[in-house]
């Protein structure tokens, strides 16, 4: 079976994808600089799968070191997760975001070329639909105006990958636009482990539940949505990981560029999801409504039909599953991988 290089594979989505790839019979090689993760996540992947994972501590921007990884392993395809992703931080430190996210992409492409690797799957984001497009988003829509440097890096990396594929017709590029990944592996051994105060909703909710934060502030309840709070397309990270297995299967057989939304197609509001978390886990989350957060769109959700039609992939897990599995991870690992 094919050997897949996971750049940024020790992170939240990468570790879950490693499990699903290994369980589907693939070999994986993980490269990470632990900027936002730690090797313990991969030890847990080994525990879940019962397989040894080849792991390199390498910054993907460092071409010589990355090239060595390619030379030491016969790589068939790359999945590029290695990016910085905190929207607010990207506004404060744009040069850090452009440098890391663009450079990792270019270095990977150069090493792929030199080592004759033709297939790459890229972690893009629904953020590229920008402000202008109307929900539900379809892959045919023109990309929009991003509201922050993080979003622009995704926009630019998609362009870099498209241009590279155009110049190299024997390449296969799959751009996966994730919606809002949440939840954790059902074993409770791996999950999202943000450093510092979480930027995203569900890790924050989980930290309130476990007593690390006093209460949640819901940012705005005066949006033009049914209950006034923003609606998002939350997707279970294991469903998302399985989408990568389908994308790998597809890319090993096809050249050119394809874009897929990975979402459920069903939006839930912030209030709905907080209430679901409380009901499913029989736990109280202290929350209050506060002002809107700058840059938030009222709604973001996918039309997920293309991934079903072309990849034969659709989500299987419910919002209840997402909330239950998140709490199972957090309560067993109150301090994440540092426990
Ligand atoms: P994560 O931070 O948990 O994982 C990213 C991994 O990349 C981390 O382990 C980090 O240490 C590593 N990394 C970053 N820069 C690196 C470098 N220069 N060299 C080597 N490793 C490096 O984030 P995640 O949630 O798993 O996201 C994975 C990818 O998916 C990212 O590109 C992110 O932008 C994208 N994405 C995430 C979301 C989301 O909500 N989680 C949504 C859309 C897109
Ligand atoms: N929210 C709160 N309180 C919090 C945190 C979040 O009310 O403490 C709300 C936000 O205002 C938003 C919703 O919860 O309405 C979801 O917020 P997240 O930060 O979890 O997710 P976003 O939809 O803002 O961001 C996600 C990814 C980004 C990506 C963006 C657009 O995290 O990487 O989708 O695709 F850029």
Q: Which of the residues 129, 137, 150, 234 is marked catalytic?
A: 150
Residues touching ligand 2 (Cβ under 6 Å) are 85, 87, 125-127, 151, 180, 199-201, 204, 216-219, 230, 232, 270, 293, 296, 300
**What is the mean pLDDT of the segment spanning 211-232?**
98
pLDDT band at 51 (very low <50, low <70, confident <90, very high): very high
Q: Is the CB of 190 under 6 A from ligand 1?
A: no
Ligand 2 atom, smallest distance to 202 CA: 20
Q: Is the CB of 178 under 6 A from ligand 1?
A: yes
Ligand 2 atom, smallest distance to 148 CA: 36
Query: Could you report the per-residue pLDDT of 248-260, keeping only the tens digit for each?
Result: 999 999 999 999 9
**Does the pLDDT at position 212 exceed 80?**
yes
Taking the CA of 17 as reference, the closest ligand is: 1
pLDDT band at 98 (very low <50, low <70, confident <90, very high): very high
**What is the mean pLDDT of the segment spanning 293-307?**
97
Q: Is the CB of 59 under 6 A from ligand 1?
A: yes
Distance of alpha carbon 102 from alpha carbon 159, whole angstroms: 11
Matching residue, tokens 């709490």: 327
Angle (CA) 17-300-139 rounded to 5° is 70
pLDDT, the chain, mean? 98
Active site residue 150: yes
Instruction: Please tell me the predicted confidence (pLDDT) of residue 220.
Output: 98
Instruction: Please tell me the predicted confidence (pLDDT) of residue 339.
Output: 74
317, 151, 139, 333: which is closest to 237 by C-alpha?
A: 317
Instruction: Please tell me the predicted confidence (pLDDT) of residue 263.
Output: 98
Burial category of 243 from C-beta neighbours within 10 Å (exposed 0-12, middle 13-18, buried 19 and up): buried
Phi–psi pair at 239, nearest 5 degrees: -60, -45
């Amino acid at each position: 079976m094919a050997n897949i290089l996971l750049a940024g594979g020790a992170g939240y989505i990468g570790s879950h994808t490693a499990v699903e790839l290994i369980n589907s019979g693939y070999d994986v090689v993980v490269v990470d600089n632990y900027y936002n993760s730690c090797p313990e996540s991969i030890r847990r992947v080994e525990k879940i799968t019962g397989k040894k994972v080849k792991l390199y501590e390498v910054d993907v921007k460092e071409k010589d070191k990355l090239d060595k990884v390619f030379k030491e392993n016969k790589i068939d395809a790359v999945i590029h997760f290695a990016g910085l992703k905190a929207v607010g931080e990207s506004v404060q430190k744009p040069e850090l975001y452009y440098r890391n996210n663009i450079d990792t992409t270019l270095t990977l492409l150069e090493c792929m070329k030199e080592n004759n690797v033709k297939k790459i799957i890229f972690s893009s984001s629904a953020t590229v639909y920008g402000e202008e497009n109307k929900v539900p988003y379809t892959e045919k829509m023109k990309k929009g105006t991003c509201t922050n440097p993080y979003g622009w890096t995704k926009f630019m990396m998609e362009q870099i990958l498209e241009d590279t594929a155009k110049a190299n017709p024997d390449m296969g590029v799959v751009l996966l636009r994730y919606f809002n990944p949440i939840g954790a592996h059902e074993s409770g051994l791996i999950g999202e482990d943000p450093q510092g105060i979480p930027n995203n909703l569900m890790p924050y909710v989980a930290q309130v539940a476990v007593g690390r934060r006093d209460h949640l502030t819901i940012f705005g309840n005066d949006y033009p949505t049914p209950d006034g709070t923003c609606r998002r397309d939350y997707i279970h990270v294991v469903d998302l990981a399985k989408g990568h297995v389908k994308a790998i299967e597809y890319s090993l057989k096809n050249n050119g560029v394809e874009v897929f939304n990975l979402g459920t197609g069903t939006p839930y509001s912030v209030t709905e999801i907080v209430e679901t978390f409380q009901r499913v886990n029989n736990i109280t989350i202290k929350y209050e409504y506060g002002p809107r957060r700058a840059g938030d769109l009222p709604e973001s959700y996918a039309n997920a039909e293309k991934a079903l039609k072309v990849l034969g992939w659709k989500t299987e897990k419910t919002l209840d599953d997402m909330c239950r599995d998140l709490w199972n991870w957090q309560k067993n690992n109150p301090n994440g991988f540092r426990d």
